[in-house]
Structure 1
């Protein structure tokens, strides 16, 4: 052992719950005496071969973490083994004992090997004074790991990341101080490849090896969220930002491997996008507005079932949505997740249009009145438009199960699960040409629909969505023959999943993927990106299309900057997190299509 030894009085410290004495660890006072190697404790699997054994280790302190109630140890380089699947580091849990060790100290620790929620650790029973100091080796961790590697082999070890990594998830940033990073943006496998295909399976496998959490030294609420300067509505940490100079110790907690940072990394912020320039004489936008509920429409009946908790939250939500829609200057805007409260003066859609006209001018926008509430779900779709540019031609059509194609199992478009779809024919005032906008919000992946309907790789209710997609294109063909038709909305399916494939077989083109490439996205879920929001065009409509844009004002933004007056985890929200801008007005990005006759 290449260390400087000091002859010091050795002090035995005991955890309050321990009954151990110095006699339980007779070698604890003898620096350089035989000890159990950390790689022998870690083993080459997820579970230590020495669980519940009392051991003595002699190793170097790499990180002191009072906020985690412990510290990390790592073997000296000469005591590393040759097995790449065993870790040379370990966490020492001190419970409520004071932590007296310092980084780079060589210490002897007596404790019990445990698996704490699948993390191998030592529960401290006895600790020597310093046996000297030593430099520890920092291992290189680069992403993605190879198929032969595992994060388990780095558990407890000091690492450095030589790459510049991409921020892919900030959901837990304000709640736990966590940021997920990867080597490039990650995509949902079925957004890029056919479900179940070798390519999709390969992406799924790589995603698990290409993401790790960058964390602070606390498990609870962070003391600060300032990795990129103080987080605020004016200074977001967007996904797509990059981070370099990552150093720390690999830890495992809450089912996630993470790097406990020991140095301040360098962040390069992804800029917020400008308002998109969309080519075309006519523009259609599609926007999931994330539960726009206005209570009773008179300032009361808050909290609402799915949206704002109070009138202040609603007013901020409304302002943000108005400021997201108006810059698009779309002639038709299809909306999802509106409160399903009809179309009267106190309805959510009527008051949205009222707010838009207050900002844009009297009568600039109007909405399609489909009568009473659509179906029985708490949310519904809707359509707003600019009367000076386009005019509705004929009555609005609504697809529910009463109008659906049927088979032996009943209606293909089940409105027990899917929200009724709306379709409106419009005429362009400048040239009298017509087109159809159909807005949809198919069944989500959130709740199960049952065996044979749920899919392991396409999510819950894939069968329900696929049947609905089939019913939808048959109904549109029968109702609007020889018309340019745009299917827009939140279809709750990624680009290569069965519902989108069903519409593609019927002649509809996914415009974002066609014009902008396979990795165009509108939504993020657990650090993976893809599209649930679509603009699909039949052959007649596709010939007219000039451009399609997904405006990334939401999917890349921290959830902490939304309209809610509390943060995830019910933490108090700083006032500077709120503003009326379009950013984080929803969790879905709007999609805009421009076309010309």
Structure 2
């Protein structure tokens, strides 16, 4: 999955370039003329809804104190009403962003300025993204009246000030949008943040719920008791538990001047942060810190699961994030070491995102033999077994993912513990079918692909099915990598609830896999079937319900306490994307042991962005 201070430069720079091109004439002019007559105030521009009542209009001599200057990406600065000039309406923000485009930034924090320009509503990611808009002044002319002024005191964002309810329901007459609804900052978290858009805000010492990423940003929560888990994260447990205490933290200073703190989930940002409250495409409401605390390392450890017993079959799923031979050896070694040390060398490992032998080079190569040889060699070097593998090469560029990479699912298995039943291996377009052999279910092709011609799998990874034998008992394993969440609106969308358009495809994919499992169970009611992989959806989703339909399967993650159900951390929410589902033949939670092994998602240093899952049972 996946989704600005020496910021997310590839993204913010692109945004800045697009807007700058559209506003090429909007250069920043700085003068030292006397103060002009009072005009429109910031709160008049911001208004009491999410969009300005003055959008598209020219405003003159808007007064404010500069609270922060951003000289990268979307260049500009924030101003806020001086003390004593705010209105008495909690819904109207007293801060605003002044977009300068490519102009040099010669104002600084503490300058008292007057700004003239055009009021705009900028939608990060474009109107098709569903994102809320950022109210700003564009094509500015700026008069600096004085410097060295005290900054407006930060508005404290605390567990008490952030409402427990996340957002109002969208207006049906407006297509489910909340844009035109009056802000109720004491009732809804999103309304509170919108009422503070552009203002100087501050948080106290806060727990980190999303590790520092490659773009120098992290996530904290100001609500330490909001759906916590034992490792320090905040669990996303339903579509109505969005966790409004989460805030993204960036910094104004480039990392060349001030290194951004490196933090894991559960660490504490001691001293908190203070700075303007921004809204961006890759996190929604974001505190862009002018002042930033330090990280109190709480020593989060990577988990290790137990070794399977002699009579237990251990089956795992692991998304290894676009692995190909051009990746550095240290990535192979780290992933291999995790299989051995953290997953205790499962008998069967379903891998997702194995790329072909030259990775993203788009030259028609589809074989992944070199990738798998390098990976299995690394496992042996880490002290693990000599795994064999089975897979079906995809058609070139037909399975989605990185162009030229040809990602696919692969079975690794330990031949000293389990055997693979080879049955006329299928190809990319030939489906494996359920047949009867000796009164029991079998596959026509093993390994084989499930229903590859189904439109549900267009430009997506086709499920890989295989027959295994453990201690004389057949086990059917189906490895999956469902369609991504790309295209879904964010939790901070102006549509509430957000539009989750990607679910449509995953629902069809789940129905196809569910139908295949039902075919197995029609032939052999008590068959042991394990469906696993990167499902790209939550345990409470329509996708999971479709997989489970008719009692064909049950998601094993629900055998865990609610606070431990997660395999991925996105925007500070610990959530389920990777799953293992079992047929009734495998038994219930009393008959198997399931573990979501947290070794990646919570850490700043990752070998993959997913945590692997392990199921142990006695066939």
Q: Give the TM-score taking structure 2 as reference length.
A: 0.67
C-alpha separation in 2, matches of 1:586 and 1:65 = 32
Task: Extract unaligned runs of 5+ from structure 2.
Answer: 1-24, 123-133, 168-183, 186-190, 358-364, 400-405, 436-450, 488-498
Q: 2:520 aligns with which of 476, 480, 505?
A: 476
Q: Does 1:425 align with 2:460?
A: no
After alignment, is 251-260 or 462-471 more displaced? 251-260
Q: 1:550 aligns with which of 593, 596, 600?
A: 596
Does the CA-based 8 Å contact 2:352-2:408 persist in structure 1? yes
* Structure-2 residue corresponding to 1:62: 67
Does the CA-based 8 Å contact 2:475-2:527 persist in structure 1? yes
Q: Does 1:250 align with 2:277?
A: yes
SS at 2:515's partner residue? helix
Does the CA-based 8 Å contact 1:413-1:471 persist in structure 2? no
CA shift in 2, pair 1:494/1:186, >3 Å: farther
SS at 2:291's partner residue? coil
Q: 2:44 aligns with which of 40, 50, 59?
A: 40
Count of matched residue pairs: 495
* Structure-2 residue corresponding to 1:304: none
* Structure-2 residue corresponding to 1:76: 82
* Structure-1 residue corresponding to 2:544: 500
Q: 1:465 aligns with which of 476, 499, 509?
A: 509
How many angstroms does 1:369 deviate by?
Answer: 4.5
After alignment, is 483-492 or 321-330 more displaced? 483-492
CA shift in 2, pair 1:386/1:440, >3 Å: closer
Alignment of structure 1 residues 288-303 onto 2, 5 Å? 288-294=319-325
* Structure-1 residue corresponding to 2:137: 121
* Structure-2 residue corresponding to 1:353: 376
CA shift in 2, pair 1:153/1:112, >3 Å: same
How many angstroms does 1:529 deviate by?
Answer: 3.7
C-alpha separation in 1, matches of 2:55 and 2:484 = 42
C-alpha separation in 2, matches of 1:413 and 1:323 = 38
Q: Does 1:523 align with 2:562?
A: no
How many angstroms does 1:387 deviate by?
Answer: 3.0
CA shift in 2, pair 1:485/1:86, >3 Å: same
C-alpha separation in 2, matches of 1:257 and 1:343 = 42
* Structure-1 residue corresponding to 2:617: 595
* Structure-2 residue corresponding to 1:307: none
C-alpha separation in 2, matches of 1:57 and 1:343 = 60
Does the CA-based 8 Å contact 2:68-2:108 persist in structure 1? no
CA shift in 2, pair 1:447/1:159, >3 Å: closer
C-alpha separation in 2, matches of 1:20 and 1:338 = 55
CA shift in 2, pair 1:331/1:286, >3 Å: same
SS at 1:238's partner residue? coil
C-alpha separation in 1, matches of 2:545 and 2:468 = 25
CA shift in 2, pair 1:217/1:174, >3 Å: same
* Structure-1 residue corresponding to 2:388: 367
After alignment, is 257-266 or 111-120 more displaced? 111-120
Q: Does 1:379 align with 2:384?
A: no
C-alpha separation in 1, matches of 2:30 and 2:369 = 71
* Structure-2 residue corresponding to 1:316: 330
Does the CA-based 8 Å contact 1:278-1:547 persist in structure 2? no
Query: 1:374-425 CA distances to partner (integer Å, 9 max, x unpaired)?
Result: 67743333322333333446758879635279xxx99769665552422223
How many angstroms does 1:128 deviate by?
Answer: 4.7
Does the CA-based 8 Å contact 1:167-1:181 persist in structure 2? yes
How many angstroms does 1:347 deviate by?
Answer: 4.7
Q: 2:252 aligns with which of 217, 223, 241?
A: 217
How many angstroms does 1:438 deviate by?
Answer: 0.3
Q: Give the TM-score taking structure 1 as reference length.
A: 0.69
CA shift in 2, pair 1:224/1:239, >3 Å: farther
Does the CA-based 8 Å contact 2:80-2:152 persist in structure 1? yes
Does the CA-based 8 Å contact 2:157-2:201 persist in structure 1? yes
Task: Extract unaligned runs of 5+ from structure 1.
Answer: 1-14, 194-199, 232-236, 295-309, 449-454, 562-583
* Structure-2 residue corresponding to 1:585: 607
How many angstroms does 1:86 deviate by?
Answer: 1.0
* Structure-2 residue corresponding to 1:336: 352
Q: 2:146 aligns with which of 123, 126, 130?
A: 130
Q: 1:276 aligns with which of 294, 297, 305?
A: 305
* Structure-1 residue corresponding to 2:316: 285
C-alpha separation in 2, matches of 1:122 and 1:463 = 43
Q: Does 1:445 align with 2:480?
A: no
CA shift in 2, pair 1:274/1:127, >3 Å: same
How many angstroms does 1:81 deviate by?
Answer: 0.9
RMSD, aligned α-carbons:
4.3
* Structure-2 residue corresponding to 1:574: none
How many angstroms does 1:591 deviate by?
Answer: 0.7
C-alpha separation in 1, matches of 2:208 and 2:65 = 31
Q: Does 1:179 align with 2:179?
A: no
After alignment, is 372-381 or 383-392 more displaced? 372-381
Q: 1:512 aligns with which of 540, 557, 563?
A: 557
How many angstroms does 1:324 deviate by?
Answer: 1.8
